[in-house]
Structure 1
Amino acid sequence: MYICIDNINIMTLQQLEYILALNKYRHFVTASKRCGVTQPTLSTMIQKLESELNIEIFDRSKHPVAPTSIGEKVIEQAERALTEIRKIGEIVLNETDTLSGSLHIGVIPTLATYLVPRFIQVFSEKCDSVKLTMSEMNTATLIEALKKDSVDMFIAATPLDQPDFLEIPLFYERFYAYFSADHPLKDVPLHPENMPQEKLWVLEEGHCLRDQVFNFCSASIPYTHVFEAGSIETLVRIVDINGGYTLIPELHLPLLTDGQRQNVREINNPPAIREVSIVIHKNFVKERLLNIVGEAFKTIIPEGMLNERLKKFTIRL
């Protein structure tokens, strides 16, 4: 496909895709592999476009290669153009009622246990023509994966402060304190200022829930003992055997035994809550598929936790 511009020779959509790939990976070999062409082909096509525009889009003297000031503007416009063109395909899909291809969704570990099994079931019933892949990764890995198009979207706690991403809130999940059965403060009303100072068990480094726990209460608690574990289930078992307490997400509550639920306490004034969202790149165009994903999650998340806008409206890109 070609684009004609006054006083400029014809440029191709392929050339625009190549400059976006080189801008993303800042390396000719990596960009060419991602585009499925040889490095000389990608380099020649970009040079041809630069010649047609009579500018340098990239400064090849830098390592890694970087766009020039005018190149940044060209790349930004190329991204807009390709996004609008991709929407044509999405319109066709919406009108012809056909969905195919693949979808790769990432999810953080502290949500995967509760969401992934049921989501696979519901999504397959709604859209069995799309090949679904789901991967469990920590937030930092998911961010890099989405930047590199290794995943199409992911589910994580937000906000993430990523300017190239769009966050679509799904639900809001409370944290609860889980105490050992013999803890002296088990029955005391909890708020951030009176959280116990010792034997708080938390997830190991790399889990976003660990960061949320410390962001929530570290300012008011001078921790003297912190122990780390790899999963929520492990934290609960450690508390049961070794004493102390931990914080667990709301979706974990149904997995507790009747006896364990007696050890759960609410945190108030203020409550500890995390926002969970679908995260996509800002140039994502598969609106219909995104809504199918949203509808699938709506069927497995308790209604009282759902984002109010998601309850009432379809997602518009």
Structure 2
Amino acid sequence: MTITQLHYVLAVAEHKNFTLAAEKCFVTQPTLSMQIQKLEDELEIQIFDRSKKPISLTEIGEKIVIQAKNIVNEAGRIKDIVDQQKGYIGGEFRVGIIPTITPTLLPMFLNNFIHKYPKVNLIIEELTTEEIISKLKKGHLDCAIAATPLEEESLKEIVLYYEPFVAYIAEDHASINKKEIEINDLDLDHILLLQDGHCFRNGIINLCKNNKYIADSHFQLESGSFETLVKLVDEGLGTTLLPYLHTLDLNDKSKKRLKSFKDPKPAREVSLIYPKNELKIQIIDALRNTISGVIKGAIAFQDVEIISPKTK
């Protein structure tokens, strides 16, 4: 039995296809099939039921895959231990970031990180929260940045910062001259939201439900981007809420339409997320320290109420 054979088993278990699994492992299909067959012969069992389409795991195969994941992860720790002992911070590192965080946070820390840690090859994917959770569990991401808490038992969350919600209202809105507002100051029958699938949208729904001012049916679903929502408000078509960092690049005229909420300000919790058995902890720490260093100067809010990204 070899680690390579276990890698091949995990690939077939995931893709349910020998040819596709071979492509992902960068070997020929006959090579992959032969190694899996050798392992099955050695164990005197069948891991896969090849008579089904797509290929499925046998009952014993399901148990073997669970153990194979543990073995492959633990084997990877050997190199991780050596890297930490040497103080080496480098290699490929895959990060997932949700779309409502990418355009504001990424430009703030990326340049600093790649200059400080030039041996790290960052591979960044913009993904929904659901995609991030799935890829973390499958080992396709090393870590992610998303709104939390996610309440996923197998994942660990380290809070990076709290980002308040800020209202963006039309010029003729009744609250335009108020310094700070409350949820009931907004015209909640005309709230403009991101499309379904964005956790920031879920956060707004939860915020309004918590205050018992609105039901799902009152929401208008308008766009996939904050920029479009801002333009719709400029045209007098409603009100929207923005994450604080998205307000920093607005022009002076637009900033006059921003209204902060009274304390405790509704906010989202943004965290680094990674599997509890994750390797490359030294890179995760480097990423956390870099982001913490740049975000402290941008967000100084303390008195906040965390709004869950999970729809209630």
With normalisation by structure 2, the TM-score equals 0.81
- The answer as to 2:7 corresponding to 1:46 is no
1:26-41 matched pairs, under 5 angstroms: 26-41=16-31
Q: Encode CA deviations 1:143-166: one digit per residue, 9 max, x unaligned.
A: 455456554332112344555544
What secondary structure sits across from 1:272 in the alignment?
A: strand
1:210-249 matched pairs, under 5 angstroms: 210-218=201-209, 220-222=213-215, 224=218, 226-249=220-243
**Match for residue 58 of structure 1 among 48, 71, 91:** 48
**Match for residue 115 of structure 2 among 99, 118, 125:** 125
List, as ranges, runs of 4+ consecutive aligned residues in structure 1 with deviation greater than 6 Å: none
Q: Aligned in 2, Cα 1:128/1:220: closer, same or farther, shift over 3 Å?
A: same
Give the aligned partner of residue 250 of structure 2.
Answer: 256
Note if contact 1:199-1:245 (Cα within 8 Å) is conserved in structure 2: yes
Note if contact 1:59-1:67 (Cα within 8 Å) is conserved in structure 2: yes
Q: 1:170: Cα distance to partner?
A: 2.2
What secondary structure sits across from 2:248 in the alignment?
A: helix
Given residue 46 of structure 1, which amino acid in structure 2 is its aligned partner? I
Q: Aligned in 2, Cα 1:21/1:185: closer, same or farther, shift over 3 Å?
A: same
Q: Aligned in 2, Cα 1:227/1:36: closer, same or farther, shift over 3 Å?
A: closer
Cα distance in 2, alignment partners of residues 82 and 149 from structure 1: 11
**Match for residue 14 of structure 2 among 24, 47, 72:** 24
Q: Percent identity?
A: 38
Q: 1:135: Cα distance to partner?
A: 3.2
Give the aligned partner of residue 306 of structure 2.
Answer: none
Given residue 251 of structure 1, which amino acid in structure 2 is its aligned partner? L
Cα distance in 2, alignment partners of residues 147 and 32 from structure 1: 21
Q: Aligned in 2, Cα 1:61/1:279: closer, same or farther, shift over 3 Å?
A: farther
1:1-317 matched pairs, under 5 angstroms: 11-146=1-136, 151-160=141-150, 165-186=155-176, 187=178, 190-192=181-183, 195-218=186-209, 220-222=213-215, 224=218, 226-267=220-261, 271-302=265-296, 304=300
What secondary structure sits across from 1:206 in the alignment?
A: coil
Q: Which runs of 5+ in 2 are unaligned?
A: 303-312
Q: Aligned in 2, Cα 1:216/1:63: closer, same or farther, shift over 3 Å?
A: farther
Given residue 191 of structure 2, which amino acid in structure 1 is its aligned partner? L
With normalisation by structure 1, the TM-score equals 0.80
Note if contact 1:193-1:221 (Cα within 8 Å) is conserved in structure 2: no
| Equivalent residues, number | 296
Alpha-carbon RMSD across the aligned residues, in angstroms, is 2.9
Q: Which runs of 5+ in 1 are unaligned?
A: 1-10, 307-317
Given residue 199 of structure 1, which amino acid in structure 2 is its aligned partner? H
Q: Encode CA deviations 1:63-99: one digit per residue, 9 max, x unaligned.
A: 3333333323222222222222211101111222333
